[in-house]
Structure 1
């Protein structure tokens, strides 16, 4: 019989394998959607943005529902069912010849994510101790970057033949992920007690400080989703080749593998989670401001590197800060609710980004989308700062700087 620590160790290793399949399956398809439907087929960027926003709204906006079901019935059935739905969505997307088929494929993909994403996030909280969490999230982000670039490069190569191969490859990877979870994932309970789903929902909705935080993060997600929409189209136009998408993810992987762990360790040692989040979002916003002046692909990649470094600083701190709010009786519900900011910000970012791109082309003002996004990023930083200061006044004081470690 295994000890609790051995069970946690097995669970963490399983999460790494599962995460590899999920990330590769996602990134083999989604970064290529705007290139295929906007650049190759000539569809309006706003139309494709609406389809992507629909997936985002369904997956993240219904996250609380998926999380509450996982708290009630356990992680395994939700994860397996959700991955099968995602696979069906990618198979439909591979054959999408009209906007309605693209939107239907995004509906299947989004509903699948609604089911499997919150319980997977809750398992990480269950299987890691608080002091281990920052390092584990950092390792997952490093793996995310490596798998994303592999998926994007493979998708870019397959796109040379036909988008059908891109969509079906994503379908196969999610079918494999569903099979792995069905066969190997233990029947974990993600909450400390099996309460009715509505009870878990009420617990989350009563946490006003948490709700304000996840809603304010909508602005941060509006910046992040442009990696799927504006950035691939812009880089392809500047570089003149679809291979630029692969270069983009190669850059992210290089920066993540070389900087993610040391920056996370330095931040953990000297800065609070709140300070790291604000610093990262400020850097992302400033890089978007610089992007409005770029006309060549070489400086575009330099500015993109600054954006990625901002993400590298922000993401581990955000994950740990969000996880710290989750109560044991409603872990998956908390993680599902944490996606509401991603739902609102992601959907607005996709639709707004597509509309801004069409508007910029019509007005011949290529810097317009980046100026608007930079303003949103700075506004988000200000609102987060206000919230953190209020938390310091009414709860325990927010410490922006950690005390310098004593010399041995």
Structure 2
């Protein structure tokens, strides 16, 4: 593995560590600690996600035009300032402004970082690289809340500054060790917006992104439906176990499983199987009330995610023309913006509605149906696009 590849993995670990050190603690501090309205904090978090994913395409377009490294470094700087400013947020408008500023930082570095992976990893290495990236993500996801919890007795300011420090450290590594990168040696033809038009008119690419909304609708439920169900049937101790099983399962098993599976099956097959497993875990959850069975269903869901997440990234890379990598990968953030927003908004609402109509399994039925349809559509997309994507698929296994 090359030094730039190692730096990208280290960056990813630091980003997820800093993010999950702060974001989960926002609710704990401002709602439980200060007594702010939960709805207001939920709005802050929802706006943060929409801003970051909605503006990621801008970061990608700028990366195509001015180079990837400057956008990565600028985004890391802005994100660190946004998180640090949360230490001084004593009103909802100030917290919202800090969250939006942090989101803009993420929008600047997200697509360029993804484009850098495409440029710095040969196609045959990508499935395993994305699996390793998933491991670093889950390690950061597991350790971030733990470190934040240890720091919260010293005040939320300590949490904010430590989370921001992770991004400053990532900025230093990126600035010193990442090479200068452009998506192509020659400037792409046409204006920056021509790249956006090209991506939006790329029918297979847009078709795949539309399908991925179903994947992200399920993916965000680890922070919504799974937490609600665990709290209802086991309290906060069970939620910690669910979170630990999910993050630990994928951290330990994702790389060895993907290293083997990517040699046997195409990324399309693995993605379809992964989403189907996620749907199955969610469907079975509606019939579970005991902690052990809830954890078993969580493991089924986590197994699906460890197959689906790196396979999805590999497929997107295969559909992305190198000369427009930043813009394409910016557009690829929209499924998370839309699917994630709907998953967050409807996940909890369906629990309340299901209780009101005496159909408590309603959310789990919906999750299973959405996941099953998504898995079928992914498989059909593989069948109809096989000839076009044959080179990308063959290098991914």
Instruction: Give yes or no for the alignment of 1:212 onto 2:211.
Output: no
Distance 1:65 1:137 in 2: 23
Q: State the match for 2:350 in structure 1.
A: 356
Instruction: Give yes or no for the alignment of 1:103 onto 2:96.
Output: yes
Q: How many residues align?
A: 393
Distance 2:65 2:278 in 1: 38
Q: State the match for 1:127 in structure 2.
A: 120
Q: Assess if the C-alpha contact under 8 Å between 1:46 and 1:355 holds in 2.
A: no
Instruction: Give yes or no for the alignment of 1:75 onto 2:68.
Output: yes
Give unpaired runs (5+ residues) of structure 2. Answer: none
Distance 1:366 1:102 in 2: 35
Shift of 1:15: 1.0
Q: State the match for 1:317 in structure 2.
A: 311
Instruction: Give yes or no for the alignment of 1:203 onto 2:193.
Output: no
2:320 to 322, 326, 342: 326
Shift of 1:255: 1.9
Distance 2:330 2:304 in 1: 24
Higher helix share: 2
Instruction: Give yes or no for the alignment of 1:139 onto 2:132.
Output: yes
Distance 1:200 1:396 in 2: 21
Give the match's secondary structure for 1:329: helix
Distance 1:343 1:261 in 2: 27
- Structure 1 residues 247, 201: closer, same or farther in 2, change over 3 A? same
Q: Assess if the C-alpha contact under 8 Å between 1:155 and 1:166 holds in 2.
A: yes
Which runs of structure 2 are paired with 1:203-352 in the superposition (5 Å)? 203-241=198-236, 246-352=240-346
Distance 2:283 2:154 in 1: 36
Distance 1:70 1:334 in 2: 11
Q: Which is further off, 270-279 or 210-219?
A: 270-279
Shift of 1:181: 2.4
Q: Provide, for residues 234-277 of structure 1, a one-character-per-residue CA deviation record: whole Å limited to 9, x for no partner.
A: 43454433x65554443234322442133213322322211111
Shift of 1:115: 0.2
Q: State the match for 1:386 in structure 2.
A: 380
Q: Provide, for residues 303-348 of structure 1, a one-character-per-residue CA deviation record: whole Å limited to 9, x for no partner.
A: 1111110001111211111101111211111211111111111122
Q: Which is further off, 217-226 or 378-387?
A: 378-387
Q: Which is further off, 252-261 or 140-149?
A: 252-261
Distance 1:119 1:307 in 2: 30
Q: Assess if the C-alpha contact under 8 Å between 1:45 and 1:358 holds in 2.
A: no
Give the match's secondary structure for 2:2: helix
- Structure 1 residues 276, 46: closer, same or farther in 2, change over 3 A? farther
Give the match's secondary structure for 2:133: helix
TM-score under structure 1 length normalisation: 0.85
Instruction: Give yes or no for the alignment of 1:157 onto 2:150.
Output: yes
Distance 1:90 1:271 in 2: 41
Q: State the match for 2:17 in structure 1.
A: 24
Q: Which is further off, 138-147 or 260-269?
A: 260-269
Q: Which is further off, 143-152 or 102-111?
A: 102-111
Shift of 1:214: 0.8
Distance 2:37 2:366 in 1: 20
Distance 1:233 1:40 in 2: 20
Shift of 1:132: 1.1
Q: Which is further off, 87-96 or 123-132?
A: 87-96
Q: Which is further off, 311-320 or 185-194?
A: 185-194
Which runs of structure 2 are paired with 1:161-200 in the superposition (5 Å)? 162-195=155-188, 196-200=191-195
Shift of 1:44: 6.2
Q: State the match for 1:4 in structure 2.
A: none
Q: Assess if the C-alpha contact under 8 Å between 1:52 and 1:347 holds in 2.
A: no
Q: State the match for 1:5 in structure 2.
A: none
Give unpaired runs (5+ residues) of structure 1. Answer: 1-7
Q: Provide, for residues 268-297 of structure 1, a one-character-per-residue CA deviation record: whole Å limited to 9, x for no partner.
A: 232221111111111111111222233343
Distance 2:340 2:269 in 1: 23
